Structure 1
C-alpha cells in the first residue's frame, strides 16, 4: 500500500537558494509536496560549494550542507535569462501551488517571474518572497545573508561578554530557525486559506523582521528604558548558569540552577554538603554574586569527567549536560534510540547520514523520501513529463544550455 503524505498533490516551484529558502521548502518536501528546485549551471546555489564535502572531495554534488537542506526535492536547471528558460519557468509556475524565492527585491520581477506574472498564469498561486529587509523602506535595497541579518536584527549584539566584542551564535541562526520556519508556517496558512476560499496569497517575509522576533524580551526591555547588555552565559532567573570546565582538553559541562532544591543538589554533588556562604544564600544572593559563584563552581568541576558530572547532577535533580562535539553527538544514545539519524543512499556520496524530521505527527507523518538531488538530475523528467516538451525539443534546448 502506497503511503500518503499530508502535502501530496501540492507542487512548489522553488527558486530559493543558500540557507533560509531551501530550509523553508524542505519540510514541505519531506511531507509530500513535489518541490522542484530551480537551479542554474551558470550560477549554482552557493551551498553546493560549501563544506563539509564527502571524503573531503569538492564538487557540486558532494556537499553535506546542501544535502541535509534539500532532501525529497527534484532539481531542474534553467537559464532564466534566456526567454525560453523563462517560459519554461512560467510553465512550471502554472502547474504549481506555491512559488518561493529569497532573492533581492525586484530580482524575480526583472526576470519576468514576479508575483504579477505568476498569478497571470496561476491565479490561485501562493507566492512567497524573503527579502532581507523588505520590499519597501529606506534600506530595502540592502543585501545580506544570515550573518548580516543577525547583526542588523540585534541578535549578535546580545551574544558575548560585556567587555568584549560580540561572538555571534556560531552559525547563521536566522537562516536555520526563524526565517525558514516562519515562512513555512505562512505558506501552510495560505494553502489552508486557499482550500477554504479558492484565493491565492502574496507573502512578503522580511527576514530582518522575522529575526527581530527572536529577541522579543530584549526589545521589550529596551522599550521600557532598560537597554540589555551582553552578559555572557548569565541568566536573570538562574545562578549558577553557564558552561564550566571539566577534566581533559576542551571538555565542559553546562549547568543551570533555578530553584533552591536544585542548588541543594548541586552542593551535594560538588561539596558533599549544603554550601553555607552567607553571600550565596537564596536565589537573589546567588544571582547578585554570580561572578564569585562561577569561580567556586568551576573550581570543583575541573576535577570531574564531564559526562560523569552531568549524570551525577541530573540524578540529583540539577539540569546539566556534557557539551558534546559533533562526532560524539552522532553516537548519542537518546538520539539513536529515537531514530534521529537516517542514512540515505546518495547517488554520488553513497550512504550518508541525514537529520530526520525533528517533529513527529501521529496521523500525518512525513519522511525523508529521497536524498538531495544531483544538479539538474530531474531536468528532463520535469520538462518532458510535466511541462510538455517533446524529447527532441528538450535535446535541442539542452544542447543550447537553456536546460540541463
Structure 2
C-alpha cells in the first residue's frame, strides 16, 4: 500500500464523542458489540470507487472542480493504475472492510470488446494484489452499461439487438472480474432501462428482454462459480423518464413475474427512494418484508432538489430508521452499506473525502446505537403490537387464516356495531424515538 496521495493523514481511529479530533470517529467503534455482533459486522461499510476516486465534482452545468493527483497522465491506463494505489491507500486509512466498483471506474474502455477486456483484466490483477496485501474485500461489482452513447436507449432493454450484445459482453467481463476478486455480490443498476416515450416503445417486449438478459447473466455467473447474491438497484427516473426498476415494490413484482426470486435481491439506495416519493425506510421495509433486502447504498438527497444529488448521509433519523429495518431483518450480510455518495462541488481538498466518509460512518454508527435502543424499549413493541391485537385471537385470527367470508364480516359488523376509535399514538412514538438519540 502506498503513502503517496494522502501522506498527511494517518489511520482514522475511534476516539469517542468527547474528542475534538475531526479526523477521528466519534461513534464508530468497530469492535463495540451491539445485538450480539460488532459494529463492523453489522454495518459492513464500503467505499464507492466511482464517486471517491473517479468523479471530479462535475455536474450538468459545468466541469469538475477537483484535480486528483492520480489523474495526471495522458494515458487512461496509467491513470487507472494510479487510481488503484490511491484507492487502497484511502480505504485502509479510513479503515473500512469493503469497496465497490463499476467496470469502467477501474479500467478504461478500449477500442474493441477484446481491448476492453484486456484493460479490465490488467487492472483486476492489481486490485487482487492490493486486496491480498491489505485485507480489503470487494462487496460488489457491476457494469456501467448506461454512460456510453450506445446505451442511449438502454442496455438489456435496447430495441437494437447489437447493443444488447455489447451490454452482454460488458456484463460477462464484469462478472469475471467480480468472481476473480471474490466479490460477495453483483449489482445490476439499470441506469437507462426504461423509456422516454410510449409512442416508440414496446414495453412488454422490453421487460421480457430484461428478464432474458438477467437469466443469462445469472446462469453465466453460477457457471463460473459466483455464489453470492445478484442485486437489482431500484431507481425511479433520471436519466430515463420512466424506469422499469422504479422502486422496491416494482422490482419485486418484476422478479416474481420473471421467476428470478431465488437468485436476486435488492440493493436499496436512500436517494432513489426519495426520488420515488418514498422514505428510505419504506423501500428498505418493502424489500425486507419480502425477504429480498440484499444491500444498501448509503447516501441522501436534497429535499429542494429533484435529482440524484448523492450527498453523504448526515440525517440521524434516516439512519436510525434504516438500521431498525436492518436489525429486524437479522442483518444485511453478505451485503453492506456502500457510500454511493460524493463530496459537494465546492469541496475541493483531498481531505474532504475523509471528512465526508467519517461523517457518514459516524451517522450510521450512531443510527445503529439508536435503533438497538429503540427496538429494546418495551413501549416500542407494545405500541405496535397493540394496534393489531384484534387479529391475535377469535374471529380476527380466523380472518387472518382465511376462514372468514365476506358474509361473516357483514354479520360480525351488525353484531359488534360501530367500532371504538383507537389512537395510532403517532406523537408518542415520535417522542419515544427522540428519547433514544444518543
Same fold, TM-score > 0.5, yes or no: no
- The structure whose Rg is larger is 1
* Larger helix proportion of the pair: 2
TM-score by length of 2: 0.24
